[in-house]
Structure 1
Amino acid sequence: MEWTLNRSETLQVLQCMGIELPADTKLLDDVLEKRLRDALNAAQYKDRLPSPFDISDLSPWPAPKSAERRSLFDAVQRGSFQESRQIFAKKLAGGSAVPELYVDPFTDLRQTMMGIGKWLDQGLRWCVLQDREREHCAVNMRILDILEVDEKTPAIVVLYRSFDKSTAEIGINWLKEQVATNPPEIGKALLNVNATPLEQRLLLKLLAWNASLVPSSYEVERRHGEESFKVSVLLPIGPLEYNALSKLNANQGCAVCGKRAASRCAGCHSISYCGQGAPPYLPSPLKPRNKLTFSFYFAACQRAHWPEHKATCRSLKGGTWRTVRLRTSVPGMEGMYMAHFNNRTSTAFGLQGGGGKPTFQQVDESAPPPPNVYGDRPFLVKLQIGLGGSGMAENMMVYDRKRTAQAFVCLEDDAWAFGELVKEMKGPRGGHGGVKMYRWARRVSDWELSVCLDRAPGAAETRW
């Protein structure tokens, strides 16, 4: 079975991971492929791995029956504060905390990882993933090593191969030989995982990309029938955190040709164009040969999209703008330490950054103002309300898509302007439960931001 995904499957997986590209996105196939690879790397929290990462330097994970044993089932689980809240709400309502299976391939893959962790705790060292009908495809997998990246992160080295109807007999013979290695308490049980064909292909893609984590010096003792099996590494898989989602949702490509976006519309900064030359539908003799034709074809993409885009672009004209003062912290936090986290923050690591270093930072009012990377151009911001000790809204965080300008707006600086923002946030154009909204903004000065109060951006521009 091939591990490639078609375009619609790739978009489906990305959407399940929180990367909300429209079904008719113009992004090219190789761009989508790279985005999926980056998303899977982020879902495995590879940025937290030691650098350089070499499995030859890792110690074995404590054996299941040793005094130092730690549950692999617990160790492979990754969640977020958002998921924890959803699970808690379901339990309060008397529902099941187990997600629905065979709908979301990414969720299915995470559940499979937990199943593997549970079996490894029981001393089992192999499994097979099959479609529910057990007729079409399967992935046979044997565990070679369980290594310790840190106390909460195992690296599971696996030997694997996929099978379809034409090679099913080979796969079945391998399974029969593995059953003989089961611990006595398990007997001759077949360790089967129900997995949709899409989940299996997603797993194969992940394993193919993770094969680079296995050094050429790694020695593999192959058993009978494993000559064509491949070696790779499984790492815990969890939901994408905010920073990863922000990056992966940021560039949705040229609105016309799908090439990587290099510039945004100068009028509203809400839509992107390639700036990479001629769109693919132009014949090669018309490809740009110099700066003049480069500018012409860049304008061609923008001109082609103008009839569709002009209504949005012009909507900012005539909007009601409110100027608010920016702060680097909320009142009362001076000299204290603060850590930024949100619903997407992983619960597996606590408030820790890469390499195990705390992300707490001391509040310093003498710090320079947030950088202005936009000049006088409008840009999108998210305003998210906070509650004071009295339960009344007293401040809100404001930041752009890339978090280059994260700051706070406070009630005590301008009660009238702050009230206007809160009223808009809770009104029909606010949405999001009345606790946050997206708006266009411009920097007026180092410590002032002008917000377009009554012009809500399109839904496609607020997916971050």
Structure 2
Amino acid sequence: MSSRAEMVNVLRGLGVDIPADTKMSETRLSEKLDKALDCTQLASQRLPSLSLSPQSLPSWDGKNVGEDFTPDDATENNVIMGLLQSPEEMEPVGNDDFMDLRVVLLSLSYQYDTGRIATVIQNKQGTSAMCIKIVKVLKLNDKTPVIVILYDHALSNNRKPDNLEFCERELSFLLQPFVAGSIGAQQLLLRLLRLNAPRLPESYKPFRQPYERDFHLSFLMPTGPLTLADIGSLNKDKGCDVCGEKAFKNCASCGIALYCGKPCQEQAWPSHKRQCKALSSGVWTTVKFQPLLDAMPFMAGMHSVNLNRYTRTDEVKSGSGGRTKETRNPPPNDHGTKPFIIKIQTTQASIRVYDRRRTLDLYLMSKNDPVNFRRLHEAAGTGFKGMKCYRWAKRVSDWELSICLDIKLPEDPKW
């Protein structure tokens, strides 16, 4: 995947806040996409040393690999896993390359579950194809199968004799259909495999047929949506608002715009000054909030699970997806004195505000501060279904935020 537009589209589709017209260099975009793909397979959690030793792992002894290989997020309503009902009709889902990749992974795992270890992934036009051979499926833990594969990629104008022999010897064209995979999905799969290949030890040399001598060796792990924590991490460094390179300073007036230096800041001023002056002159209201236990004492001793579109079902099953034991300790200050975006969510009796990573998650009850409760309630009424909105905020103290209630964001962030 070499096109900067393609990389930007994938990152935006994953929930990374990056402008469609970003000036970020292709090198930095590629690095950010690699990091995002690593996060989609939970690499740092599953492989603390970022290496995998197949010789030390047992074979997968679970039921179906497909049941654990393509986790949904909490709002997909099992769209991906629902495809198991008609696996032979799996098709790319449109212009979402990452979703197409997950459909391809589901198809591969389904084929393994039905006894097929070799296949070809290709687009409808037949211009790009990948030969895939599943070497073995290993058990990293009870919920994590690891598929070790040999693979090769070729374009229609450069078909290799070994690929043709692979198809002739490994596939039965009447009984074993190809896997439908768009060019974008194939490019993402290749990038994921190239990320994982160096994590295998050089000493690991599985058996190859003669026509597989030039195939590449790598592995795949269950791959799903980014988590809240990963999105927060990927969004920390958005780059200079002008050139996209690493940013070192914020706008002194509003504290929001990011620049690599004075030349870019001066260049951006004509377009930035309107938002800057609005935020600088906006009405910032200081509100004192409460922890959940004070707002709702009946939650004492309980755990809460924060679910939204970026909560993975495998996190929920393992008990790690946003699951926290409620305390009265003040939330950590990850933002310092810099402005950050909060979501304001309201009901008739309570208001909840939180940042994207849920490191800050606070409550306001109508009975405790009716004036500010009404102000936040009115702000939320301007947003989605009159129930939630997004605003800029600054941390004032452990339990206080200063919120710019009268200035809307240009567009709602991916949350």
CA positional deviation for 1:269 = 1.9
Residue in structure 1 matched with residue 257 of structure 2 by the alignment: 271
Residue in structure 2 matched with residue 313 of structure 1 by the alignment: 276
Matched, 1:146 2:137: yes
Residue in structure 2 matched with residue 337 of structure 1 by the alignment: 302
Aligned pair partner of 2:213 in 227, 231, 255: 227
d(CA) in 1 for partners of 2:340, 2:287: 15
d(CA) in 2 for partners of 1:203, 1:47: 19
Matched, 1:115 2:107: yes
Give aligned-pair identity as a percent.
Answer: 31
Residue in structure 1 matched with residue 333 of structure 2 by the alignment: 371
d(CA) in 2 for partners of 1:454, 1:87: 40
d(CA) in 2 for partners of 1:243, 1:336: 24
CA positional deviation for 1:199 = 1.7
CA change 1:368–1:244 in 2 (3 A) is closer
C-alpha contact 1:58 1:148 (8 A) present in aligned 2: yes
Measured against aligned partners, the alpha-carbon deviations of 1:328-381 in whole angstroms (never above 9, x if no partner) come to: 22321463233342212111232646xxx686544333x246537433x54432
RMSD: 2.7
Aligned pair partner of 1:177 in 145, 150, 169: 169
Matched, 1:56 2:65: no
d(CA) in 2 for partners of 1:170, 1:77: 31
CA positional deviation for 1:227 = 1.2
Residue in structure 2 matched with residue 382 of structure 1 by the alignment: 343
Residue in structure 2 matched with residue 348 of structure 1 by the alignment: 314
d(CA) in 1 for partners of 2:159, 2:222: 30
Residue in structure 1 matched with residue 380 of structure 2 by the alignment: 425
One-letter amino acid matched to 2:57: L
CA change 1:402–1:265 in 2 (3 A) is farther
Residue in structure 2 matched with residue 5 of structure 1 by the alignment: 2
| Partner SS, residue 313 of structure 2 | coil
CA positional deviation for 1:26 = 1.2
d(CA) in 2 for partners of 1:98, 1:421: 46
d(CA) in 2 for partners of 1:306, 1:145: 57
Residue in structure 1 matched with residue 86 of structure 2 by the alignment: none
Matched, 1:101 2:93: yes
Q: How do 1:59-458 and structure 2 match up within 5 A?
A: 59-62=58-61, 69-84=62-77, 101-134=93-126, 136-164=127-155, 165-179=157-171, 189-274=175-260, 298-329=261-292, 330-333=295-298, 335-343=300-308, 344-350=310-316, 352=318, 360-365=323-328, 367-368=329-330, 370-371=332-333, 373-375=335-337, 377-385=338-346, 387=347, 393-401=348-356, 403-427=358-382, 431-458=383-410
d(CA) in 1 for partners of 2:117, 2:334: 54
CA positional deviation for 1:402 = 5.2
One-letter amino acid matched to 1:163: A
CA positional deviation for 1:403 = 4.6
C-alpha contact 1:239 1:346 (8 A) present in aligned 2: yes
d(CA) in 2 for partners of 1:301, 1:210: 37
Measured against aligned partners, the alpha-carbon deviations of 1:176-201 in whole angstroms (never above 9, x if no partner) come to: 1113xx7xxxx952441122222212
| Partner SS, residue 83 of structure 1 | coil
| Partner SS, residue 60 of structure 1 | coil
One-letter amino acid matched to 2:405: L
d(CA) in 2 for partners of 1:34, 1:109: 19
Q: How many residues align?
A: 402
5+ residue gaps, structure 2, are 82-88
CA positional deviation for 1:411 = 2.0
CA positional deviation for 1:436 = 2.1
C-alpha contact 2:90 2:107 (8 A) present in aligned 1: no
C-alpha contact 1:76 1:154 (8 A) present in aligned 2: yes
d(CA) in 2 for partners of 1:120, 1:148: 15
CA change 1:444–1:146 in 2 (3 A) is closer
Measured against aligned partners, the alpha-carbon deviations of 1:366-406 in whole angstroms (never above 9, x if no partner) come to: x246537433x544322223x5xxxxx32233233555543
C-alpha contact 1:334 1:364 (8 A) present in aligned 2: no
One-letter amino acid matched to 1:207: L
CA change 1:406–1:59 in 2 (3 A) is same
Residue in structure 2 matched with residue 292 of structure 1 by the alignment: none
d(CA) in 1 for partners of 2:351, 2:114: 49
CA change 1:153–1:338 in 2 (3 A) is same
Aligned pair partner of 1:37 in 34, 39, 42: 34
CA positional deviation for 1:100 = 6.2
TM-score by structure 2 length?
Answer: 0.88
CA change 1:404–1:207 in 2 (3 A) is same
C-alpha contact 2:137 2:148 (8 A) present in aligned 1: yes
| Partner SS, residue 70 of structure 1 | coil
5+ residue gaps, structure 1, are 63-68, 89-96, 275-297, 388-392
d(CA) in 1 for partners of 2:274, 2:47: 49
| Partner SS, residue 297 of structure 2 | coil
d(CA) in 2 for partners of 1:463, 1:103: 18
d(CA) in 1 for partners of 2:133, 2:91: 27
